[in-house]
Amino acid sequence: MHVRPASESDLETLKELWLAFDRENPSPEYEDVDEAVELSEVEDYVREHVALVVENGEVAKGFVLARMRGARHGWISDLYVSADFRRGGAAGRLVRDAAAALRERGADVIELDVRPWNDEARAVYERWGFQQSKLTLATKAEDLEQRLSQDAPAPSHGIVFAQTDDETRVGKAVRAYVPRLGRSARTDVHPPVNGWTAVDDELCSADPSLLRRLAQELSYRTGGVVLTLGVEEEAVVRYVLFDRGSIADEYSSLPEYHGPLPPGDVVALSANPTVAHRLTGADPQRVRAVAKTASSAAELPPAEELYAELAGVLGVPLP
């Protein structure tokens, strides 16, 4: 394995690698990506900034593009290694040499972007020492207008449970992460019960998306199982099981509450008793009996009743 600076003779190879990267990691539909412009920028990196390739023998297997953003701020814009050459340290070598080149240009801090759903890449970057410094959110303008034109939804509430008796570790992780979400009036970390430490954050409790983010962050930081359990808009009971930062199982009592879904997505929101048993110790038959789905709330027990019953089945203590 050899890492070297890219030259103009590498442009065609770099473009092929970039196209492979784009196919593997497509941009969201709301982002306008002009392929010609992107490939032209690859040329700019080769001629004016930092462009490196990693080779296996004489075959290019990956690349990194980086540049300065200001006098002290370095930015890695693209990083890609072919699937057949991964897990051998190539990405780390590329980033190490790019960091050295940026430091020579005066960089004190180096930043890169990662898609929120790219769990594997995020785990690698965090192992290298990268930490979240900002959060960019996006939505379609039409959808935003429609949502904000609707009446305010009914309130939601939920709790995060970390599968650990180490209350101190959980509390430290919560204190490090919650301030990034905005000002929260109250955050309680409860003493462990039955091997679960509960986190009740006022801000996250009222917002299912924030609740999920908090749970995923705790799962990343503790390297273990974390569960969210809550009631959304006084109607939907949902739990999400994370294992080492990745979703292992998700259940929604009303999968199509927010709108029609493809059949596969509806099935995916049914509880998986086997996974629930493996991660929580819950009796699979009880999970199957209690975690039912339906097309309307009238077909299920009241949401609060189902919420409490699920907590009992999963063995988590409601504060």
Q: For the chain, give every domain's residue range.
A: 2-127, 154-314
Q: Quick one: CA dihedral 308, 206, 248, 254, positive or negative?
A: positive
Res. 184: pLDDT tops 60: no
CATH of 2-127 among 3.40.50.720, 3.30.390.30, 3.40.630.30, 3.20.190.10: 3.40.630.30
Tell me the one-letter amino acid at 36: A
Q: What pLDDT is attached to residue 183?
A: 58
Res. 201: pLDDT tops 90: yes
Distance between CA atoms of residues 1 and 163, nearest Å: 41
Q: What pLDDT is attached to residue 160?
A: 98
Contact 219, 197 (CB under 8 A): no
What confidence tier does 134 reach under pLDDT thresholds 50, 70, 90?
confident
What confidence tier does 181 reach under pLDDT thresholds 50, 70, 90?
low
Q: What pLDDT is attached to residue 30?
A: 63
Distance between CA atoms of residues 77 and 70, nearest Å: 15
Per-residue pLDDT tens over the stretch 86-128: 888 999 999 999 999 999 999 999 999 888 778 888 889 999 9
Length of the chain: 319
Tell me the one-letter amino acid at 131: Q
Q: What pLDDT is attached to residue 185?
A: 66
Per-residue pLDDT tens over the stretch 22-72: 888 777 666 666 677 778 888 899 999 999 999 998 889 999 999 999 889
Segment 312-316 mean pLDDT: 97
Rounded to 5 degrees, what are φ and ψ at 181?
-80, -15
Segment 211-228 mean pLDDT: 94
Burial class for 191, CB neighbours closer than 10 Å (0-12, 13-18, 19+): exposed
Res. 140: pLDDT tops 90: no
Res. 180: pLDDT tops 70: no
Q: Which neighbouring-strand residues pair with 200?
A: 188
Q: What pLDDT is attached to residue 33?
A: 66
Q: What pLDDT is attached to residue 182?
A: 60
Q: Which neighbouring-strand residues pair with 238?
A: 230, 252
Distance between CA atoms of residues 110 and 122, nearest Å: 15
Contact 83, 21 (CB under 8 A): no
